[in-house]
Structure 1
Amino acid sequence: MTPRTPGTRKVGLVGWGAIGRVVGTALAAHRIPGAALECLVDNRPLGDSAPAPHVTFEEALRRCDLIVEAAGQDVVRAWGERVLTSGTDLLIASTGALTDQDLAERLLAAGPGRVYFTGGAVGGLDLLQAVRALGPLHEVRLTTTKLPATLEQPWMDEELLTRLRTATGPVEVMAGTARDIPAKFPRSTNVAASVALAVGDLDTVRVRVVADPGAHHTRHVIEASGPHGTYRFDVAHLPDPGNPATSQVVPHAVLRSLAALAGRTGQIL
């Protein structure tokens, strides 16, 4: 257990998968000053390798002042409001849940806990937020390209699944807005929600999801334009080897957000 000092954030980590293992291991190794791993929440047995007590969600709320969600959109829907009303802060990795406008409004209205989200696998969100202060962007486009197997979903019909499984080059899987796409791909398109949250409008962000059997990197291309300028961000990440639906960088983005919440000084960006 990480030693605590007065003012240390007591962190409850929800999820011990590709994201949670990296985040929890870093916290247990004392790599985030001002934050201590208090407990883990997961609906699976964790065995003896877990670096903190494995507890229920209710117990985590009693023990912690910050919950880090690293387990998917369903956790945000089921527990987000309860976390905040208990007085505990919530850091959300699965930002796609916030495209549900009713849920987002309930979370923003709940308290006294505060809700935060991390940008995850995409950059440029701080600039888009700054530009938004000058006036609305006229057009925002996001193209996400991933390996076909990471995009397969239960709602897909056989024709689409066959196109994905037999693709020899890029195939457009779906196009829509940031309001629609994250719900269709709950583990693969949180970036769309993050961009929309930065822009401030779910319907302005047009999203294309592309499957490419040659996509050794997960790629996100953001193109935005407005009366004050044009912007383009192009990022390509290695997928996580244990869960190719997410990028290796995502847990490190969560850790960066944790460091900011824990009060790291001398840093703006």
Structure 2
Amino acid sequence: MIAVAVVGCGAIGGVVARALDAGEVAGVRLAGVVDPAGAPGLPQLSLEGAIEAADLVVEAAGQSVLADVGPRVVAAGTDLLVVSVGALTDDALLARLYGAGEGRVHLVTGAIGGLDMLRSAARMGPLEKVRIVTTKKPAGLVQPWMDEAEARRVRSADGPVEVRRGPAREIAAAFPRSTNVAAAVALAVGDWDRVEAVVMADPAATLTSHVITASGAAGDYRFEIRNRPSPDNPTTSQVVPYAVLKAIGDLAARTGSFR
């Protein structure tokens, strides 16, 4: 039995914490939730209390929170499961996480699949071309850095509109709530600059779409994922907390199962 603390009790962390509290993951118990906004009906902890009480801390609160709490968790020797992988575009944070202490860092695949194949293909030889095209409803793609004209262009789209295109590092940083998938692909490939990320706004998009294409010495690959957005937060996919629960279950079981 391992004890798990969850940082964040929103659309992702709340689902994860309630499932753990209900005993839905074998070999796992909920130590508590860390969230200044509260976690009604669930045991609540400070970050220090979570580090002391838990074998594994799950970050489900966003990139800025990961930057703050992640290195502290790992430095204390506690394992960390990262949901906000887009934060790892920051090389300094990546160095702090992996050099902070004895705690291990695990990443969640989140809303996409196919990363194991990309890792294998990249290991055989550098991939020549990798692209991920993410399509979401316009409202969730408007960002604080946009000027009024750009924000209006995105909001008023009456058909598919390309919002931004660039290296995965740039796009994951520019859309911190919407492009963890671009970061996950780049981390799987092992090269931030080789992966081109494209963000599309489409008012007709009832599902969030991610289309990943890659080619290299191992072959040609195309993965398409179409997820339902979370009813509580349309910038994330509804399946993400269940990917987190699977990752927690795999870590608790330590079997030869696929991840």
Per-residue deviation, 1:80:
1.0
Q: Distance in 2 between matches of 1:94 and 1:249?
A: 15
Structure 2 residue aligned with 1:29? 22
Gaps of 5+ in 2: none
The answer to whether structure 1 residue 68 and structure 2 residue 58 are counterparts is: yes
Structure 2 residue aligned with 1:39? 32
Question: Structure 1: which 4+ aligned runs deviate by more than 6 Å?
Answer: none
Q: Distance in 2 between matches of 1:225 and 1:202?
A: 16
SS at match of 2:164: strand
Per-residue deviation, 1:10:
0.9
Counterpart pick for 1:265 among 244, 255, 258: 255
| Partner amino acid, structure 1, of 2:163 | V
Q: Distance in 2 between matches of 1:200 and 1:116?
A: 16
Q: Distance in 1 between matches of 2:119 and 2:61?
A: 27
SS at match of 1:71: coil
The answer to whether structure 1 residue 162 and structure 2 residue 147 are counterparts is: no
Q: Distance in 1 between matches of 2:92 and 2:116?
A: 25
Per-residue deviation, 1:64:
1.1
Say how many residue pairs are matched: 259
1:80-108 per-position Cα deviation (integer Å, ceiling 9, x unaligned)? 11100101000000100111112112211
Q: Distance in 1 between matches of 2:156 and 2:84?
A: 30
1:67-126 per-position Cα deviation (integer Å, ceiling 9, x unaligned)? 001110111111111100101000000100111112112211222100000110011001
CA contact (8 A) 2:142 2:155 kept: no
> TM-score scaled by structure 2?
0.97
Q: Distance in 1 between matches of 2:216 and 2:193?
A: 15
1:7-38 per-position Cα deviation (integer Å, ceiling 9, x unaligned)? x2111101110001111111111111111100
Counterpart pick for 1:136 among 123, 126, 129: 126
The answer to whether structure 1 residue 56 and structure 2 residue 46 are counterparts is: yes
The answer to whether structure 1 residue 112 and structure 2 residue 105 are counterparts is: no
Q: Distance in 2 between matches of 1:23 and 1:232?
A: 30
Per-residue deviation, 1:265:
3.1
Per-residue deviation, 1:228:
2.0
1:167-222 per-position Cα deviation (integer Å, ceiling 9, x unaligned)? 10011111111111111111110000000110000111000001110010000000
Superposition RMSD in Å: 1.1
Gaps of 5+ in 1: 1-7
Structure 2 residue aligned with 1:20? 13
Per-residue deviation, 1:43:
1.5
Q: Distance in 1 between matches of 2:32 and 2:15?
A: 15
Counterpart pick for 2:200 among 173, 192, 210: 210
CA contact (8 A) 1:33 1:264 kept: no
The answer to whether structure 1 residue 189 and structure 2 residue 179 are counterparts is: yes
1:240-268 per-position Cα deviation (integer Å, ceiling 9, x unaligned)? 01100000110010011001111253523
CA contact (8 A) 1:65 1:87 kept: no
The answer to whether structure 1 residue 99 and structure 2 residue 85 are counterparts is: no
SS at match of 2:113: coil
Q: Distance in 2 between matches of 1:240 and 1:220?
A: 15
Percent identity, aligned pairs only, is 54
Q: Distance in 1 between matches of 2:27 and 2:214?
A: 37
CA contact (8 A) 2:121 2:217 kept: no
SS at match of 1:180: helix
